[in-house]
Amino acid sequence: MTSRHPLSALRILPYLAKWTLLAALVAAASGSASALFLWALELATATRISHPWLIWLLPVAGWLVSWVYLKVGTQVEAGNNLLIDEIHDPRKVVPLRMAPLVLGATVISHLFGASVGREGTAVQMGGSLADQLTHLFRLRHEERRIVLMAGISAGFASVFGTPLAGAIFALEVLAIGRLRYDAIFPCMLAAILADQVCMAWGIQHSHYAAGALPAISAWSLLAVLLAGLAFGLTAWLFASSTHALTALLKRYLPYAPLRALAGGVVLALAVYMLGQRYIGLGIPVMMEAFQQPLPWWDSAGKLAFTVASLGSGYKGGEVTPLFFIGATLGNALAPLLQLPFGMLAALGFVAVFAGAANTPLACTIMAIELFGPQLGPYAALACVMAYLCSGHSGIYRAQTVAVHKHRMGPPEA
């Protein structure tokens, strides 16, 4: 395995040259796609806000998108899970059409007022664009895995402006309890470059401020562990409800466009009664969650709207709604735990997502990238607690369980 030849370490140079080129291509494609997507998303959100009646067209839009997927998208319908499956067991190149389909479908979700996110879209665009290099460079199975992971990394990094979190996310999301390093170089490089490409297109990311933090004390640590428990249970509730509603609707409404229609009607009526607070990305409410007390039911409201949207088949992603749910839940917990709103909102922002996606390290690093290193120890505890308390079935059902979260096995199980 090892070699004592003085320059044996240099045997890696061809590997580095090849993957630098591939990562740069992945980053260029994926970063540009994210930029286009974020620009379209902003336009769609602004249009929805200035034309509130658009919500009444949501059922029709949902029907249409579902119908299009049924006609030309059944192969790519599984989305993130398809990518994870292909990385675990490489079979067939992901069709390029995944990118325009998910891009169009997500922009429509946001234009007409579903409650969905954007990471799923960015990751799917990144993955499917990256996989097109498979034919071009005649990549082998094992290389396809790496290029797909680089695509996920680039998509995530560029859509949120968090390069290190994107790279770690791609390495971490495949299996619960284990992180493998075989794609670490392509993922890191693709993430950093894709983030730069996206910003070079003029995209600016939202900034949230966690504000001043209390000094670490026995109470502040215990409070963060308790908050992490709440974040983890919320993540569990979110993932289980989404899976349960999806399964239920599939049983009673086997025709997909009908599910989107029904979900759209329910969402439109809910918006009619409760207002626009819980649809779209919800960035203004998230901003408020860092600053001032909000109604305690905000996280429950967003959870219900998002589960309804995803369960009835609207495209987008889970992550930005999870940020919203976490930030508002943190906001509600802050007075109970006697800690600042900004701190708890920031912890909830990353930790509910950490629990739902089973990615505690990516989310800890995201906390540092978004809110600064002072939050690091608190974020690590909150994310690890949420990860431990969210059960073994997260939002990605293709994710495997490599190491049980708390039942201990032999060293090398």
Of 327-366, binders to a second copy (CB under 8 A) are: 360-361, 364-365
Q: Does 403 bind a second copy (CB under 8 A)?
A: yes
Q: What DSSP element (H or E) covers 175?
A: strand 175-176
State the number of binding residues for a second copy (CB under 8 A). Answer: 79
How far is 130 from 137, CA to CA, in rounded Å?
11
| Among 83, 202, 179, 327, CA closest to 319 | 327
Q: Which of these segments, 182-190, 257-265, 307-315, 322-330, binds a second copy (CB under 8 A)? A: 182-190
Q: Which of these segments, 50-58, 288-296, 305-313, 391-399, binds a second copy (CB under 8 A)? A: 391-399
Question: According to CB under 8 A, which one of 118, 145, 302, 315 is a site residue for a second copy?
Answer: 145
- Of 228-287, binders to a second copy (CB under 8 A) are 232-233, 236, 240
How far is 303 from 306, CA to CA, in rounded Å?
5
Question: According to CB under 8 A, which one of 75, 81, 196, 206 is a site residue for a second copy?
Answer: 196
Q: Of 96 and 221, which has the nearer Cβ to a second copy?
A: 221
Question: According to CB under 8 A, which one of 57, 78, 184, 287 is a site residue for a second copy?
Answer: 184
Beta strand segments in 124-167, E: none
How far is 61 from 59, CA to CA, in rounded Å?
6
Q: Of 68 and 388, which has the nearer Cβ to a second copy?
A: 388
Q: How many CA atoms are closer than 13 Å to the CA of 407, on its beta-carbon side?
A: 6
Question: According to CB under 8 A, which one of 32, 312, 369, 396 is a site residue for a second copy?
Answer: 369
How far is 287 from 272, CA to CA, in rounded Å?
24
Question: According to CB under 8 A, which one of 185, 208, 238, 396 is a site residue for a second copy?
Answer: 185
Q: How far, in Å, are 91, 125, 171 from residue 147 at the CA level?
A: 14, 13, 12
Q: Does 225 bind a second copy (CB under 8 A)?
A: yes
Residue 88, phi-psi category: left (phi > 0), alpha (psi -120 to 50), beta (remainder)? alpha
Least gap, CB of 320 to a second copy (angstroms): 22
Least gap, CB of 398 to a second copy (angstroms): 13
